[in-house]
Amino acid sequence: MASAAKSRWANAEADTAYEEKRRREKEYREQKKRRRVLEKAKVEAAEAVRKLVAEKAAQTRIHNPEGLADDDDDLDGDGRPLKRQKLTPERDDKRRVSSQKERDDKRFTAKSEGGLLRLSGGALSEPCRSVERYEKLNDIEEGAYGWVARARDRSTGQVVALKRLKLDETDRGGVPVTGLREIQLLKDCSHRNIVQLREVVVGDRRPIDNILLVLEFVEHDLKGILEDMPQPFLASEVKTLLHQLASGVAYLHSCWILHRDLKTSNLLLNNRGQLKIADFGMARYYSDDESSSSSSSNSATAHHSIQLTPLVVTLWYRAPELLLGARRYGRAVDMWSVGCIFGELLTREPLLQGKNEADELARIFDLCGVPNDTSWPGFRRLPNARALRLPPSSSVTSSPSTMASIRVKFPLLTTAGCQLLSSLLALDPNQRPTANEMLDHEYFRQDPRAKQEAMFPTFPSKAGQERRRRRNTPNAPQRGAAAAELGSVDLAGIFSGRDKEERGAGFSLRMV
């Protein structure tokens, strides 16, 4: 059979050579691309090593704040010392951090933001687990910054409290700063009178919209107990609760933390008589007490302090300097709230139930007296104090002092108790005692002594049974809201009719 005729246009050798040439060109391009990727990886690795060395040098400077160089890591390329970032300057009093061990315990870092210390720690050690490992039992309550439910760990059977962070749908910034602060602060705190954060869990579908804090479950909140009690706490029980509250606040202040929303609904009580401070949504770190003097907001001592928002603390527990618009304050605002809680423990009702900021200020002046340059130096320099119309000087002079008003309102309170309460409710923030000074007060050393926690009465737990009813009480201020401008407020008539009031308990004898 004759073979098939070859086409005269076909050239197998030329086609093979052309295909081989294209294959070699493709291999050359791929090798060139691989070399570029390898060179880029080498550059990135070198940059990562450089950053790691820089971070190590920064950590060396942090742990060696006295400026004593152990090696050449603190020198730049020219052999000059690197510029050191400053921490809060040490003070001459006993509150300063004097030793290297205490600095390590406080875990200071060199980063500062507007004069406030930034603490290391608070970071989650491992990725967040799923909320599905917990079985929801019942809702407890919904507050201004989150929703709380009771749940059980499926693996251990332990009952916990789940707090879901409330997110603003219109806010495109992600997790709110209040939630981030609460996580960081609770991770840093470890005290028997501070609620414990066990972990942070997330939902499976949209984790950014479903972040929950796993907290230890505490049976009661103090507000609910006070509302349901037929009789107020005994004097020994009040001292037990107040001493634990002061211990927790003293710990927070020693860690440079302001709670800024202390109230009875944020104080939890378990069935073993142990009180715990909760709800750190408005808490934050602060610097030192050079910023606490709101009356000297224009003075040289407060010149370098950071300005904070005055729109903090629930209205009924808000200090007068915050109502007057102070933007530099410290731990004295928490101590005012402790004084309001002290009065509420005695009467089972909030001490100063103002309808708004102006009414709250009038109630404060009615109880504590009208401020003047002697009792509260420099208060007129506060923003909202410039337009206040106060009573004439004659009415102010004849008005009772805070101590006398406390005696009238709490006739069964001892002299030491009246002194402590009047000092906590001092208008001048510089006159209020610190939490440590409160713990050493004579009130706690007098009879009746504080009742032992094991002997504290127990109460049925509403949180373990049903959803808590919403109470007709003010909520904490919303973040980002505008602070109230009091404007011109007339307080000239707050002492009208005082001359007809009885000044306290007593009796009279009639001769027959």
Taking each continuous run of H as one helix and of E as one strand, the counts in the chain are 12, 13
Tell me whether residue 363 is exposed, middle or buried, using C-beta atoms within 10 angstroms of its C-beta: 0 to 12, 13 to 18, 19 or more: middle
User: Residue 423 contacts by C-beta under 8 Å, 6 or more apart in sequence?
Assistant: 431, 432, 433
User: Could you say which of 221, 261, 279, 289 is catalytic?
Assistant: 261
Q: How far apart are CA 243 and CA 237, in angstroms?
A: 10
- Phi, psi dihedral angles at 351 (to 5 degrees): -75, -40
Q: State the residue for tokens 């060199």.
A: 110
Q: State the residue for tokens 């090593």.
A: 49
Q: How far apart are CA 418 and CA 438, in angstroms?
A: 13
Pairing of strands 275-277, 108-113: unpaired
Tokens encoding 347: 């009467």
* 261 has catalytic annotation: yes
The string over 167-189, giving b where at least 16 C-beta atoms fall within 10 Å of a residue's C-beta and e elsewhere, is beeeeeeeebebbebbbbbbbbb
Q: Are the CB atoms for 153 and 129 separated by under 8 Å? A: no
Q: State the residue for tokens 């004579």.
A: 442
Tokens encoding 376: 């509260």
Q: Are the CB atoms for 132 and 153 separated by under 8 Å? A: no
Tokens encoding 368: 């504590």
Cα torsion 119, 125, 128, 133: sign: negative
Q: How far apart are CA 322 and CA 327, in angstroms?
A: 8
The string over 435-446, giving b where at least 16 C-beta atoms fall within 10 Å of a residue's C-beta and e elsewhere, is beebeebebbee
Tokens encoding 357: 């900021």
Q: How far apart are CA 341 and CA 263, in angstroms?
A: 6
Tokens encoding 108: 């200071």
Tokens encoding 154: 């499926």
Tokens encoding 483: 């602070």
Q: Are the CB atoms for 146 and 178 separated by under 8 Å? A: no
Q: How far apart are CA 462 and CA 469, in angstroms?
A: 10
Question: Nearest-5° angle of CA 74, CA 79, CA 82?
Answer: 35
Q: How far apart are CA 193 and CA 277, in angstroms?
A: 6
Kindly give the interhelix angle for 332-347 and 235-254, rounded to the nearest 10 degrees: 160
Number of Cα atoms under 13 Å in the Cβ half of residue 279: 22
DSSP for residue 319: -
Please identify every residue annotated as catalytic. Answer: 261
